[in-house]
Amino acid sequence: MTALDVAREAGVSQSAVSRAFTPGASVSEKTRTRVLAAAEKLGYRPNPLARSLMHGRSGIVGVGVGNMENPFFVRTLELLATALDAAGLRLMLFPATRDHDAEPSLQEVLHYRIDALVLLSVNLSSNLADQCRKARVPVIHFNRTSADAGTSSIIGDNAAGARTIAAHLLAGGHRAMAYMAGTPDSSTNRQREEAFTAALLSAGLPAPIIEHGHFTHEGAMAATRRLLLREDRPDALFCANDTMALAAISVARHELGLDVGREISIVGYDDVPMAAWPGFALTTFSQPCEGMVARTVEMIEALRREPESHAHHVAQGALVVRSSTRPVVARAR
Amino acid sequence: MTALDVAREAGVSQSAVSRAFTPGASVSEKTRTRVLAAAEKLGYRPNPLARSLMHGRSGIVGVGVGNMENPFFVRTLELLATALDAAGLRLMLFPATRDHDAEPSLQEVLHYRIDALVLLSVNLSSNLADQCRKARVPVIHFNRTSADAGTSSIIGDNAAGARTIAAHLLAGGHRAMAYMAGTPDSSTNRQREEAFTAALLSAGLPAPIIEHGHFTHEGAMAATRRLLLREDRPDALFCANDTMALAAISVARHELGLDVGREISIVGYDDVPMAAWPGFALTTFSQPCEGMVARTVEMIEALRREPESHAHHVAQGALVVRSSTRPVVARAR
DNA sequence: TTGAAAGCGCTAACAT
DNA sequence: ATGTTAGCGCTTTCAA
């Protein structure tokens, strides 16, 4: 079924068919309905591939995802798939894991004349950033910021989150704090680490002990062991995401026999579904995933009509207190 | 950068450029290298959109995914993204959840002239199946079978898995068995349920008590409560996937105070990463995800050259015994 | 083997 | 407001 078939059926020219399917085109109401009826009858829909060949945009959004081990990104991906779908856009997924070099994949994706590129916690090499700029493909960093000019970003307020967590642990009477870092070169990790450290310092405490868990379960298990087998074992641990915090709970409880929430407090970040399970009851800072995804799609739509309208959005979250942290003690006066 | 630019640079015709990039085309080695050099220099790659306009295939594989709550499918998706990428194919993801009617999304995806459609535990309406057949788009069901003729499938050997689980529970001395079903209309659920029931019957036991958990965490929590608050409480529970089994462990242990692995045995299916966590130590039947994905991509490649070559593959798995089930007792003679 | 030329299904100037 | 025409970047006859 091509536009020509519909044109014949409706007794109009082929371009009339095209116009009938183009939002702001100059067609009389009469021909439009006539064409739409014929199209309906023949089961015709304009071919997006042919269409994109003309105006250089395919209606596809490229989405690069790194760590799918983290349920927060899985949820994000799921919401994004639904939201893009509702917006009439297609989602082209490509792997962007650290080991499997993402460059060739992304380059390939770029050839599909994508309307936008969304990166879920993935860094963009400056080389690729250049290519996107030249190809006029807007880039949106999700849960990460980038130094590249001209890109957009959606992040949570990491500094506020880290400060809230610090305050909660301090109020619980903790003094020996540790921070389990994610990948050191991610803005998300840096912002959380810096704000947490600053909050401790300004409370008159030393900087936290730091171990690197690389945002993964495996990495966090090893980091937890290093941390909790020290002579000067910390009694509070802030992990830069929930995936690591859940691993830390496992190790603390099952390998080291610690009573989590009494002998040691553990806090995460994201509030993934598992954090609420009774076996974990993880205190964590919740990020508003739905809202962040909605903002992402709004940005894409804005970028489609105004390619230079990049923006940076910071979403607010909230601390969800469960029993993996010591209850707040009444402050002595 | 178009083929014409490259043609000028190489001093050949534009069609020579096209031929240089077409695998079995008739070009002299001389011109081919000449063209490839020019392309390299100019950073040219043929535009897949324009290419697909001609031969009706876009190099995109549509992937529909239902339940992303299940880490097994997340892992499958991740592996599939990588494997397709390595095969030079793009992955177009669309939501196919039960509530959000997948028909319009899929229809839209079909317009991109996809090379194949992969459905991860998703049923295809016969209407859509028809459309795929007419559009000559091969359909591959992953972890599910379908009655539609002409579609392919990749599944695990559900009957063997269920029988192995039944044998394991019987060897543990259990006599009061329950089965937590997934969605009743899925082939996967039916096969597991039927084989489990048959195994019990042939051992002289009654059919298992059945409750429906719909393959979800929430559904499984409710089902577990119904099951374990009965007068005649079962002492062994086979859940049709790990997501439900983990929920069952949570409820049994934290809400009902049961000692999982002694007072009640719980078994899952899939062997997701969490099953190995010490807090769960879930006995489960492992499905070879990597192999199943590799097979899927092989099928796609076969289908690309031989559109009628649909096939059905059954992968073998293995029982992974952990401590959520009672140890096997030495049989009295 | 190679180049010229005719589309693939559509959009967008250009006429009318 | 509508039809005619010229492409978008590529593949594929058809001649040479």
Reported as a single tens digit per residue, the pLDDT across B173-220 is 999 999 999 999 999 999 999 999 999 999 999 999 999 999 999 999
Asked whether the beta carbons of B285 and B165 are under 8 A apart, the reply is: yes
Q: For position B277, which CATH number holds?
A: 3.40.50.2300
How far apart are alpha carbons A165 and A198 in whole angstroms? 12
Asked whether the beta carbons of B141 and B123 are under 8 A apart, the reply is: no
Tens digit of pLDDT for each residue in A22-39?
Answer: 988 889 999 999 999 999
A224 with A235, same domain: the answer is yes
How far apart are alpha carbons A251 and A280 in whole angstroms? 12
Chain B CB contacts of A108 below 8 Å: 85, 88, 90
B196 with B254, same domain: the answer is yes
Q: Is A90 helix (H, G, I), strand (E, B) or coil?
A: strand
From its phi and psi, is residue B128 left (phi > 0), alpha (psi between -120 and 50) or beta? alpha
Whether residue A214 is contained in a domain is answered as yes
Mean pLDDT of all residues in B63-83: 96
Q: Is B10 helix (H, G, I), strand (E, B) or coil?
A: helix
A215 with A192, same domain: the answer is yes
A192 with A211, same domain: the answer is yes
Asked if the model's pLDDT at residue B332 lies above 90, the reply is: no
Asked if the model's pLDDT at residue B292 lies above 50, the reply is: yes
A189 with A297, same domain: the answer is no
Mean pLDDT of all residues in B260-288: 98
Whether residue A40 is contained in a domain is answered as yes
Looking from the CA of B118 toward its CB, the CA atoms found within 13 Å total: 33
How far apart are alpha carbons A38 and A35 in whole angstroms? 5
A162 with A251, same domain: the answer is yes
Locate all alpha helices (DSSP H) within A172-305, ordered by sequence. Answer: 187-202, 217-228, 242-250, 289-305
Mean pLDDT of all residues in B125-152: 91
CB proximity list for B266: less than 8 A, separation 6 or greater: B236, B237, B239, B245, B248, B249, B252, B260, B282, B283, B324, B325
Asked whether the beta carbons of A155 and A248 are under 8 A apart, the reply is: no
Bases of chain D with protein Cβ within 7 A: 1-5, 7-13
B110 with B184, same domain: the answer is no
Whether residue B77 is contained in a domain is answered as yes
Under 8 Å CB pairs connecting chains A and B tally to: 113
Tens digit of pLDDT for each residue in A42-90?
Answer: 999 999 999 999 989 999 999 999 889 999 999 999 999 999 999 999 9
Cβ separation A278–B254 shorter than 8 A: yes
List the one residue out of B58, B42, B49, B53 whose CA is nearest residue A114: B49
A150 with A295, same domain: the answer is yes
Strand D close to A31 by CB, under 7 A: yes
For residue A333, the model assigns a pLDDT of 47
Asked whether the beta carbons of B115 and B300 are under 8 A apart, the reply is: yes
Q: For position A42, which CATH number holds?
A: 1.10.260.40
Mean pLDDT of all residues in B214-239: 97
Q: How confident is the model at residue A308 (pLDDT cuts 50, 70, 90)?
A: confident
For residue B32, the model assigns a pLDDT of 95
For residue A100, the model assigns a pLDDT of 66
For residue A126, the model assigns a pLDDT of 86
A131 interfacial to chain B (CB closer than 8 Å): no
For residue B227, the model assigns a pLDDT of 98
What is the percent of chain A with per-residue pLDDT over 70, rounded to a whole number? 98
Whether residue B325 is contained in a domain is answered as no
Asked if the model's pLDDT at residue B104 lies above 90, the reply is: no
Query: Into how many domains does chain B fold?
Result: 3
A162 with A284, same domain: the answer is yes
From its phi and psi, is residue A210 left (phi > 0), alpha (psi between -120 and 50) or beta? beta
Question: B178 lies in which domain range?
Answer: 158-288
Asked if the model's pLDDT at residue B138 lies above 80, the reply is: yes
Q: How many residues does chain A have?
A: 333
Least confidently predicted of A95-104, A264-273, A283-292, B298-307? A95-104
- Look up residue B108 and give its two tokens: 């839209």
CB proximity list for A23: less than 8 A, separation 6 or greater: none
Mean pLDDT of all residues in A90-108: 86
Under DSSP, the state recorded for B272 is -
B151 with B294, same domain: the answer is yes
Q: Rg of chain A's alpha carbons, rounded to an integer?
A: 25
Q: How far is B48 from chain A (nearest CA, A)?
A: 7
For residue B123, the model assigns a pLDDT of 87
Asked if the model's pLDDT at residue A332 lies above 60, the reply is: no
What is the percent of chain A with per-residue pLDDT over 90, rounded to a whole number? 86
B159 interfacial to chain A (CB closer than 8 Å): no
List the one residue out of A252, A274, A272 whose CA is nearest residue A263: A252
Mean pLDDT of all residues in B35-63: 94
For residue A101, the model assigns a pLDDT of 72
For residue A331, the model assigns a pLDDT of 59
Cβ separation B93–A93 shorter than 8 A: yes
- Look up residue B298 and give its two tokens: 């092989």
Whether residue A204 is contained in a domain is answered as yes
A276 with A301, same domain: the answer is no
The mean predicted confidence, pLDDT, of chain A is 95
For residue A225, the model assigns a pLDDT of 98
Chain A CB contacts of B279 below 8 Å: 249-250, 253-254, 279-280
Whether residue B190 is contained in a domain is answered as yes
How far apart are alpha carbons B58 and A265 in whole angstroms? 53
For residue B330, the model assigns a pLDDT of 67
Whether residue B183 is contained in a domain is answered as yes
A39 with A124, same domain: the answer is no
Asked whether the beta carbons of A156 and A133 are under 8 A apart, the reply is: no
Tens digit of pLDDT for each residue in A215-262?
Answer: 999 999 999 999 999 999 999 999 999 999 999 999 999 999 999 999
Whether residue B182 is contained in a domain is answered as yes
- Burial profile A99-118: b = 16 or more Cβ within 10 angstroms, e = fewer: eeebeebbebbbbbbbbbbb
Asked if the model's pLDDT at residue A133 lies above 60, the reply is: yes
- Range 160-199 of A in CB contact (< 8 A) with B: none
Asked if the model's pLDDT at residue B120 lies above 50, the reply is: yes
* B93, closest residue in chain A (CA to CA): A91
